[in-house]
A and B are shown apart, each in its own frame.
Chain A
């Protein structure tokens, strides 16, 4: 992983969450939120690669991503 450079813009994540929830985000909670997002991405890519392999595509196609998005999002429902 790219540890040397910044992994993600912390302020952006904070603003995103704040905009959606209309609440403030405590100082370091965004790290955890981004951690959760990374887990989500991992799951999403895993599912979509499985899906694309099932269909027989070489690379991950947008359709397979769209197909698994719902499932993955539901799995990440709190």
Chain B
């Protein structure tokens, strides 16, 4: 039926083709092309082939599918679902094939044979348990005697559907053990680092006898010094008086601490410049600061420690001095903090501490070398700040009193930091005075000076003429 319209449709095109062929001069083709019946044949077979294959395919595919699909019920299910999603696909299919798959046949057969079956239940777990040991024991007697294990549960072949909720109720599993209590003092357990520093606050006093066992904990001392040095200093003094030999054995640990001492300083550098709201966080930050400063205390402060030491623990001075010798740097590091925080604020404290105690009083701040530090006059700071703020904000820049206080705080910190750096540079150069070269070194390290920028260009930009002249006089090129 399909051939006739096709042939009719084809015929004019074929005539065109034949005419197009004719001018080429192929005589045989022109002769052949005139015959209309003969014309059909070279094309129609292919046409017939296509038309014949497609209905055969249409006819065979359902049969193929009927043969291949129900191999597993899952596959049948999938095919049915797919057909349901695309309903146009099986329009041409006869409904009989779809309705009767082999699975259906089998199911019908099953219904006919066993009409009273129940849906599958999960197998009970209670029954096989008494059987399991009986079955298992004769097989592996020796092993069970040997390692005395509870025998493995027999694997169940079905899911424990109704047991899922029961398992939760049964207290078979003990609740997981929480983290170790602080009181149970199991030294062999390696605590995380942070935890030690927190735990040790309570434990430091009883730390003496076990210190040698506590191998990996050498950092604990450092961290504790950082946290709050006050109890370490005094309490260690007690320990040394009581159990001198333990501290001697633990000296190795202390020496190991010397390695991490730099780490402490490293932390300190990060802690230091963060300016908290003045009253609030000062105490926390003071401890690491003062700790680090304590390392560099001049030996003038040392006898002070030794005087206080026997006052606290009523032991002989020798043990304390011995301890001081043992601990090297750590011991005097911890002492002044305890002292200055607890007893006398003005003895060896640093700048920040004084501000904490005497917030309103000016000109009484002491540097950590015990030298009173004058403030820069407020007017100077304000003038500078206004000048630079005006460069950004235009002429209407305003600086409130609180802002000015914050700026003053920042500038005092700046001077502290810069003076420390300058002192280090001068000391490195073996000088007693801070020189111009130190300052240029500092500025170079701050990346203010480089090949393009010299001190003079900077000074010309910022400083008035008289100072510039003074500077030029002081530093020939």
Contacts and interface: CB of A to CB of B under 8 A. Distances in A.
Interface of A: 1-3, 7-9, 12-13, 15-29, 31-42, 44-46, 49, 59-63, 65-66, 69-70, 72-78
Contact of B421 (A7, A9, A78): A78
A62 B403 contact: yes
Contacts of A42: 388, 391
Interface string B116-129: 00000000000000
Contacts of B440: 32
A41 B400 CA distance: 16
A15 B273 CA distance: 22
B227 interface: no
B97 interface: no
Given A31-B467, A61-B403, A16 B275 contact: no
Interface string B444-460: 01101000000100110
B interface majority secondary structure = helix
B373 A29 contact: no
B358 interface: no
Contact of B273 (A35, A37, A69): A69
Given A2-B383, A49-B393, A66-B275, A7 B432 contact: no
B183 to A, nearest CB: 40
Contacts of A34: 463, 467
Interface stretch (B156-164, B314-322, B336-344, B409-417): B409-417
B467 A33 contact: no
15 contacts: A7-B463, A22-B371, A26-B474, A28-B474, A32-B443, A32-B455, A35-B443, A35-B458, A62-B402, A62-B403, A65-B403, A73-B410, A74-B273, A76-B418, A78-B445
Given A31-B470, A36-B446, A78-B442, A21 B434 contact: yes
B371 A78 contact: no
Interface string B384-409: 11011101110001111011011101
Contacts of A49: 389, 392-393
Contacts of B422: 17, 21, 23, 33, 78
Interface string B291-332: 000000000000000000000000000000000000000000
Interface residues of B, number: 82
B23 to A, nearest CB: 85
Interface stretch (B135-143, B168-176, B248-256, B374-382): B374-382
A33 B371 contact: no
B436 interface: yes
A37 to B, nearest CB: 6
Contact of B416 (A9, A15, A20): A20
Given A21-B423, A39-B458, A61-B403, A70 B377 contact: no
Given A41-B384, A77-B421, A78-B421, A12 B463 contact: no
B464 A1 contact: yes
Which 4 pairs between the two chains have the least Cβ-Cβ distance?
Answer: A20-B419, A28-B474, A78-B421, A21-B423
B455 A35 contact: yes
Contact of B439 (A18, A32, A41): A32
Contacts of A73: 273, 410, 413-414, 417
A44 B384 CA distance: 11
B448 A39 contact: yes
Contact of A37 (B375, B400, B415, B466): B415
A22 B445 contact: no
A58 to B, nearest CB: 8
A18 B455 CA distance: 22
Interface string B350-384: 00000000000000000111011111110011011
Contacts of B406: 62-63, 65-66, 69
B204 interface: no
Given A18-B371, A60-B399, A36 B432 contact: no
A39 B449 CA distance: 11
B464 A7 contact: yes
B382 to A, nearest CB: 11
A2 to B, nearest CB: 7
Contacts of B415: 13, 16-17, 20, 37
